[in-house]
Amino acid sequence: MSRLSPARFTAVAVLVLAAAAGCGPKSTTGTPPPSSPTAPPSGPGAQAIGSNPPTSKGTTTKTSAASSGNTSEDCVSYNPNNVTMHYEAGIFTIDDGSKQVMRLHGDPNSNTGQKGLALAQRYSKHCFLGRTNTREDKGSYVFDYWLNPSGKTPTIADQDNDCSDYNRNNLTVEDMGDNNGWRVKDHDHVLQLFDNGNDARAGKTILAKYSKICFIGDSDDGQDAISYLL
């Protein structure tokens, strides 16, 4: 077996040392590794940015227009100076041009249409709670109220018969069960039926601003009368 000469031994040793140096750890003077992502917030108050907090039922709540005064009110706006009355097949309609302000069921010889016309002339907005309900007796669960007084005060006939007083400080909201809906009443005086609790509470807020509720029109055949407040 041949031996390495001192010169060749020295050269090999240098190569071995160079290779060993290449396998060592890299210098820490270069670009540092990326830091770990920040942990998400935790605890009962934590919430992702931009998310909407759900209610207890997992849906977003909607504030009632009647109680908040926002722009999602269900109303028909019209010009009280342009309203006219028409009658056909047992129905009076009060219209502003092609826009229908209200429908009233009544006898052609009655003054129902004239009362509806006078009511429409007093305001410029006819508003509703519950107009989209799907109950069989739908009309009974629709509450009418009126906004934006026009400044006109034409006489609405028969108010002694059409209107009843109530105590605005004694109003209560009552849940009558899924099949019967809700109602607002003054002791035993039921003022209005509502499809759901939100409508009933909004209706109570409106009713609490007045002390008399009035109805115009027949309520036969499941058709409810139009209401207004004094």
Of residues 90 and 25, which shows the higher confidence score?
Answer: 90
From residue 45, give the alpha-carbon distance in Å to each of 53, 90, 112, 202.
11, 60, 58, 31
> Using one digit for the tens of pLDDT, what is the confidence trace for 179-189?
999 999 999 99
CA-based nearest residue to 145, from 123, 161, 114 = 123
> Using one digit for the tens of pLDDT, what is the confidence trace for 7-57?
443 443 433 344 444 444 444 444 444 444 444 333 333 332 233 333 222
Written in H, E and C, the secondary structure of 104-173 is EECCCCCCHHHHHHHHHHCEEEEEEECCCCCCCCHHHHCEEEEEEECCCCCCCCCHHHHEEECCHHHEEE
